[in-house]
Structure 1
């Protein structure tokens, strides 16, 4: 019925339901390229891996996937992963702490820990890696970012209840180098270096990536406490791909990340315990004695007058990643890929007097086979094994050794998977996948005997793509997923009152069921994708506390559900002007609302334009976020307490979060054939919740101080300029 190359092309091209935004010109060009490729029987590429990727036999899904291209990343002047994917349809990057700036990447309205991060299709991030240092994942050397929403979005990541973010590294195609340097307000600075090289025989390809970026603290209300912390990131990545034979390819990747976040008191200011000259000085000055008064007049809107350490949050993250992948084409019908991953992630941190250190080591192995059963069926099958050890130490072990329970854990999964990609007709493709996993999770503290989780689970998924005609395409996906809730940092960025340790009441996997329908249109000038997604989760992790005030990681009894709907349009008004529009709605039930630490987005509009005129490229991105009732998400706080530490009712904070607009602009000018100058401004309207009169600092109903009354932007207007040179 079909040749094998036609089937393989259909599999990989079916994935490309691109992000419809200011880069719709790319989309149309890709569609034209797709049409041309589908008429070809032979595809010529330079490497074994590139040839099989082009043929499609390395893909494992035909589901709807948004593509964030390198061009769009550059247009947004995105320094890191969170900036690159924010405001992509179905994606929300949630800032969940004004002190440490922890980010969570939410897909389809689900929580950040339910998103799995992949690099070149492999899971290199351990469980605690998703809370800090996602801002340290650089955009230098990124070819594209693939956003796949829904449970079981990847054969090797069934724990991705919300979906997967797959960062694809640039593959060397020539000997070249790129340097990108920019500076801006609030200490914004970035240096990105990319080098690629190919051996004379074309069998060896190397990619070297280095990036340094930094940003200073921001104190919009000048009360000596920041609303956004300083951050300094250094990353280095080396990727080597070598064709051992005409049928063998070996790819080795190494990456090192070093990130430091300093939040709380403004560095250089004077406090009750002296000048906060550096983070070392602040931590060394910790004496364990709380100040009688934190803010002038006990009002968080006034100057901070306590000791610097009492509002300090410092996180130093270091991560080493090593991946090795061997691809072998056994014959025309069968190929295999053997992959191994090693990741070592350490976090040293100080949370307002509570010191916490954790090291998370992960090893992952995958053996995968792709087999053409016949002209209509492509089978993908394999086995993978993941082991993870997290070991932590904290000040709580000293403060209360008789009560302290460590949150250290062991995590082990062994899985088998099978997928059949069936070209049923010219118009209909179906991918049916099934995973079987044995999952074991054990909190290893002697006070927690036995394994908390020892489960076997089946996770099925089906993806269907139907081409109504040359312009209209439907996609339907449904599946189940699971994940083990193991870290307190999933539900709270830092356990600030954990001197008594941690209480753990976890004995079930989070289990999800999801379904997504998407309808796409691709015309000459107009592109459109609209989708509807529903996800239900049982045994959702939740953070409460015991009667003694000990943080308790537990699970909800009731099921929680969220539904999302979105439509994205792209239109080429002229050959030089492209417009984009996206509208999104997120609908959470009460159980899901109760689980969020920060109120998520409910309504969002995005409008963008890319205009080429007289050698200038002008890019604009306008975002509207709708109003929200914060009381539905458990918000309750006060700006002031009296002399006895009781809240003053008249200072109660508003629970009505207003709608707001933000606008980003960037202008690029080609100075020579290989040098571009650019300048831009983020948040041109200078809109922040602090400028609206609402600091993220607050007192809770018991008079305790906290830092996460967040509903809007915390960084104001930032102007920048830079240049990019290619050699």
Structure 2
């Protein structure tokens, strides 16, 4: 393994050295100007100014002015972007020693049509011109919903739902279009370093203040990103330095109105050199959440969390058309659920205790030709996780374990634009990728060892014929997985038709696969009826395959002064050799064992509808709903009890669910944000224990989880602002009412919102 890592680092180093341009004589070609609101003529602070096709860029200062110096000579295109405004471009021609003035008057736009996304084709594209439909969650949404981590903000997109799957430790997973967590691939800055181990609790370990935006690509993504992207991809884009600034905040939440509190402190700072050649953005979070016992049985429904995280992202512009980007993060998290939280875990009746230490980062290099017709990217990324755990009950002294996991990914990508290829201009993308995952799991007391080493070598090729009105993308990816005997091919076809800028029509097909390896829930040992339950893989387990088709219409229209957007998307996914679980003979240690095997197959079909409306500057509304069916081809047995009937409906997949957000700003400094999620009835397994005497598939009630957040901004001194805020999460207290109780409870019998009605207050300082 060391030789692969050293080779990847050496290749990256060589490209970096070759890409660094020698010092050149200053061009003294400069541009200055301002950005103002076209209607009010007020200057707009902190708008982003980018020189298209180059590494140059800056932001306006607090007075709305900007200055760019030592730019390349010739024709340049400048693009301005500001929150709440439509993007705008202007062209200018510069000569050596010339200083030009270029001013922008931008138009207010509550709904952006020109968001830039990278997940649709692994290159930056306008969202409305991307070959596949990409949904975007920005940092503002995480603030509006009072989300402290990735898990708490993901549900506010159509077709996406986050659920809590363990009453003891709070294990969460995200479902896209009804497919459970291991069908979706989580990327960090487009890099696949989120392993099976970090997938167990990783959604809560990524702090919200680390995130610039999240791009969600629903449907098969294996043709671009490889294994485990059957349901879609979630691409977490970390914050990048854009100007000199800092933020610090603290939020105090009373869980269930009790004396169990969640204290969350976040810090961000951004520094950019005067020349704009380099920048550094740092973040930090410290969180302490007390355990919460909802039903008074002495066992927690919400686990203790103590976490600290710190990280940074930095860039260095090596030339006019090239740059290096580095990212690093360190996360420490301790969590524990069960009873007797102040005692060692082996003295408790039930304890799930996990202590993580995670280090991860990446280094990438981007370079392009001056005309942007040739672009090259190379990267290497890693994540190392060390975990100490205890999953046990009834004062079991042998339930301690340790796990180590190292994930490394490296790749290169080349893009060439043809002015005409056969019948239309096109963009050819070719890339190679190598990923390595070395997992070692030890249950010391039971002498159980899980060792898994995964090597995946992949290559992808795609060509997109495109104009502003039409695009046709045809491509595929070849993967050689060391746990699969043959090479796996994942095809992709996308067609886009834009009869106007306000109408975007798409149809897509993608094939995908999921390899037979240990997944996130295999690294989580549940406690059911006081016994440990773990998962093993069948000897003849083979990869799971998928075929996904989607059709979508993304429509924009303005009714008077009301801007609207309507998205309708239909999807149909066929799964072959679906992974399923069956009970096996009890293990020698007395615990229960479930085996993962290839089932009959399944189909998932439905549609997403999302609407957005910006009525005025002070009122915006967004809502989405998903209606779907998730069914196995044949009934699947899920219990060892012969009297329990098999089911065709997939567990934990409601046929209807949705979300909404609304923002009111009646006066300049005051904002009221409403948000909520609605989850329809679904089937959940309830295993025999303290709650029921026999395994049963329970049809759960529906839930509506609504939140409210009120905030007021106070200008303290010039560029220093304090925001005071407060609100209620789960306003109507839509919380599960039939939890199992006591030591014999089924910890997996949990559904609905993750918190009862909870009150929060906080303050944020911005510099």
TM-score using structure 2 length: 0.76
For residues 696 and 596 of structure 2, the distance between their equivalents in structure 1, rounded to whole angstroms, comes to 29
- Report whether the alignment pairs 1:713 with 2:744: no
Bigger shift: 323-332 or 174-183? 323-332
Counterpart in the other structure of 1:665:
708
Q: Is the 8 A contact 1:561 1:592 kept in 2?
A: no
Q: Secondary structure of the equivalent of 1:210? A: strand
For residues 570 and 606 of structure 1, the distance between their equivalents in structure 2, rounded to whole angstroms, comes to 12
For residues 201 and 488 of structure 1, the distance between their equivalents in structure 2, rounded to whole angstroms, comes to 46
- Report whether the alignment pairs 1:368 with 2:413: yes
Counterpart in the other structure of 1:413:
456
The alpha-carbon distance between structure 1 residues 464 and 366, as it changes in their structure 2 partners (threshold 3 A), is same
Counterpart in the other structure of 2:613:
571
Q: Secondary structure of the equivalent of 2:152? A: helix
The alpha-carbon distance between structure 1 residues 108 and 592, as it changes in their structure 2 partners (threshold 3 A), is farther
Q: Is the 8 A contact 2:690 2:745 kept in 1?
A: no
For residues 113 and 696 of structure 1, the distance between their equivalents in structure 2, rounded to whole angstroms, comes to 26
Q: Is the 8 A contact 1:321 1:341 kept in 2?
A: yes
Which consecutive residues of structure 1, in runs of 5 or more, have no partner in the other structure? 1-7, 10-27, 45-49, 268-276, 286-307, 399-403, 442-452, 642-646
Residue in structure 1 matching 2:251, options 179, 182, 189: 182
Counterpart in the other structure of 2:389:
349
- Report whether the alignment pairs 1:623 with 2:677: yes
Deviation at 1:183, TM superposition (A): 1.1
Deviation at 1:722, TM superposition (A): 0.9
For residues 750 and 532 of structure 2, the distance between their equivalents in structure 1, rounded to whole angstroms, comes to 23
Deviation digits for residues 606-636 of structure 1, max 9, x if unmatched? 33321001231001113332233x3xx5445
Deviation digits for residues 318-362 of structure 1, max 9, x if unmatched? 211121101122563212111001211122211114223211111
The alpha-carbon distance between structure 1 residues 241 and 607, as it changes in their structure 2 partners (threshold 3 A), is closer
Counterpart in the other structure of 2:493:
462
Map 1:25-44 onto structure 2 (within 5 A). 33=86, 36-37=88-89
- Report whether the alignment pairs 1:260 with 2:334: yes
For residues 193 and 635 of structure 2, the distance between their equivalents in structure 1, rounded to whole angstroms, comes to 30
- Report whether the alignment pairs 1:509 with 2:543: yes
Residue in structure 2 matching 1:338, options 378, 385, 397: 378
Q: Is the 8 A contact 2:686 2:746 kept in 1?
A: no
Residue in structure 2 matching 1:555, options 597, 600, 618: 597
Counterpart in the other structure of 2:199:
130
Counterpart in the other structure of 1:444:
none
For residues 52 and 706 of structure 1, the distance between their equivalents in structure 2, rounded to whole angstroms, comes to 42
- Report whether the alignment pairs 1:217 with 2:291: yes
Counterpart in the other structure of 1:58:
123
Deviation digits for residues 542-591 of structure 1, max 9, x if unmatched? 23232345624332331112123121111233331122222211311036
Q: Is the 8 A contact 2:441 2:451 kept in 1?
A: yes
For residues 619 and 214 of structure 2, the distance between their equivalents in structure 1, rounded to whole angstroms, comes to 24
Which consecutive residues of structure 2, in runs of 5 or more, have no partner in the other structure? 1-51, 54-80, 95-99, 101-114, 255-259, 639-648
Counterpart in the other structure of 2:269:
195
For residues 150 and 748 of structure 2, the distance between their equivalents in structure 1, rounded to whole angstroms, comes to 23
Counterpart in the other structure of 2:739:
695
Deviation at 1:483, TM superposition (A): 2.0
For residues 345 and 264 of structure 2, the distance between their equivalents in structure 1, rounded to whole angstroms, comes to 27
For residues 187 and 454 of structure 1, the distance between their equivalents in structure 2, rounded to whole angstroms, comes to 51
For residues 84 and 592 of structure 1, the distance between their equivalents in structure 2, rounded to whole angstroms, comes to 35
Residue in structure 1 matching 2:230, options 155, 161, 177: 161
Deviation digits for residues 403-430 of structure 1, max 9, x if unmatched? x5x331110111111121211x441112
Deviation at 1:30, TM superposition (A): 8.2
Deviation at 1:659, TM superposition (A): 1.7
Point out the structure with the larger strand share: 2
Q: Is the 8 A contact 1:506 1:554 kept in 2?
A: no
Point out the structure with the larger helix share: 1
TM-score using structure 1 length: 0.80
Residue in structure 2 matching 1:282, options 336, 345, 358: 345
Structure of greater relative contact order (alpha carbons < 8 Å, 6+ residues apart): 1
Deviation at 1:653, TM superposition (A): 7.8
CA-atom RMSD in angstroms: 3.1
For residues 749 and 93 of structure 2, the distance between their equivalents in structure 1, rounded to whole angstroms, comes to 58
Deviation at 1:384, TM superposition (A): 0.8
Deviation at 1:661, TM superposition (A): 1.8
For residues 697 and 514 of structure 2, the distance between their equivalents in structure 1, rounded to whole angstroms, comes to 36
For residues 516 and 697 of structure 2, the distance between their equivalents in structure 1, rounded to whole angstroms, comes to 32
Matched residue count? 623
Deviation at 1:487, TM superposition (A): 1.7
For residues 93 and 742 of structure 2, the distance between their equivalents in structure 1, rounded to whole angstroms, comes to 64
Map 1:394-409 onto structure 2 (within 5 A). 394-395=443-444, 397-398=446-447, 406-409=449-452
Counterpart in the other structure of 2:143:
74
The alpha-carbon distance between structure 1 residues 148 and 547, as it changes in their structure 2 partners (threshold 3 A), is same
Bigger shift: 711-720 or 68-77? 711-720
